Amino acid sequence: MSQDPGKGATAASGVEWAERTDEELLQMRICDLKLTIAGTELETRIETFNRELGEKGIGFKPVCYLGDDWFCPEGASTIAVPFFLAHPRLKKLEERMMMEVEGGTEAWCLRLLRHEMGHVLNHAYLLEKDPMWQKVFGPSSLEYSESFRARPYSKLFVRHLDGWYAQSHPEEDFAETFAIWLTPALDWKKQYRGWKALAKLEYVDELMKKLVGKPPLHVSRTKMSQASRLQSRLEGYYRRRRRLYAQDFPDFFDSDLRRLFAESSAAPSAEKAAAFLRRSRKQLLDAVSLWTGEPKFTVNRLLRALIDRCADLELRLRTDAAGLEITAYLAALASHYRLTGKFKRT
């Protein structure tokens, strides 16, 4: 078994803090949760992932450990898995604080593990230094960008994680391509027939065949941001994460909202726009987050601000098409945010 359960860890069930309120739990330090992978559903999912590697002839297995997010440390052969996935109580808190639980389902968790394994192999076999790798994916020396101009309909890249993540950087392009190649029962040759991304998949297929039986050239067991050593309180942890996505809204889009909805005097008997948005909140969040790749937390902050502004302006529904129009409007704002880091148009 290659995951790292930690020392002195408490079993995933029956811990005292699991019965605490959210407010009490937020005051706890992450290291004091004494979390472990062993004995959790996460352990089973990592075992499934390791079997996938074996079935593809990949003998080198990463060390999976509990960290503060999903990532593979630079140059390392380890995969950090968010600590909140190690206990159902923490998953519940995560959903409340961030609107979703990244990797919370088995399918989602495996998709992320496959992606991070691409980084592990890149580090362990120094793949990015190969001229052919650079020809296929591009130079790894390119700088990462928090926001990038995604091309949703581009056939140069595979589609694995949400948000067209393969387009963000050559290393992510390789990791995403590898993840598609690794996915069991996926006929990638058929799915990507006619795409330029197919050449990348074929390259990865040949590359993985060459690595069968070969020992890694570089092995690092570095564990950055290990949960057992994180002394920050959960409250501070979520404050920092929210800050990454949240944006203040000093002004609202009054003119846009008045185009979407009617003044109260013009439609006094129609449903209030704020009530409609609250009623449709879940469907709007799911749709906009899915098609823009923006986290639900970001979209929810925007939606809450628009709901409050609609209430202030006493706006009401104008037509039955309001749901379609507001979805398109929110998607446009979220897409603008992804490209520029701002919701407001300049």
Backbone angles phi, psi at 258, to 5 degrees: -70, -25
Model confidence band, residue 195 (pLDDT cutoffs 50, 70, 90): very high
Domain ranges of the chain: 16-229, 247-340
Model confidence band, residue 318 (pLDDT cutoffs 50, 70, 90): confident
Least reliable range by pLDDT among 2-11, 66-75, 88-97, 233-242: 2-11
Residue 8 clears pLDDT 50, i.e. is over it: no
Given a contact cutoff of 8 angstroms between Cβ atoms, the answer to whether 223 and 73 are in contact is yes
Residues of the chain with pLDDT > 70, as a percent, come to 89
Question: pLDDT of 126-183, one tens digit each?
Answer: 999 999 999 999 998 887 765 566 777 899 999 999 878 899 999 999 999 999 999 9
Question: pLDDT of 206-265, one tens digit each?
Answer: 999 999 999 999 999 999 999 999 999 999 999 998 877 655 443 457 888 988 999 988
Model confidence band, residue 340 (pLDDT cutoffs 50, 70, 90): low
| C-alpha distance from residue 37 to each of 41, 47, 295, 313 (Å) | 8, 11, 26, 50
Residue 324 clears pLDDT 60, i.e. is over it: yes
181-197 core/surface letters (b: 16 or more CB in 10 A; e: else): bbbeeeebeeebeebeb
Q: Which of 175, 134, 169 is nearest to 148 (CA)?
A: 169
| Longest alpha-carbon distance in the chain | 75
Q: What CA–CA distance (Å, rounded) separates 94 from 281?
A: 19
Instruction: Tell me the H-state helices in 212-253.
Output: 234-245
Tokens describing residue 91: 């998953």
Question: pLDDT of 279-305, one tens digit each?
Answer: 999 999 999 999 888 888 888 888 988
Q: What DSSP element (H or E) covers 81?
A: strand 78-82
The DSSP secondary-structure symbol of 29 reads: B
Q: Which of 193, 171, 312, 329 is nearest to 251 (CA)?
A: 312
Q: Which of 69, 55, 110, 329 is nearest to 223 (CA)?
A: 69
Q: What CA–CA distance (Å, rounded) separates 287 from 331?
A: 9
Hey, which residues does 140 pair with through a beta bridge? Answer: none
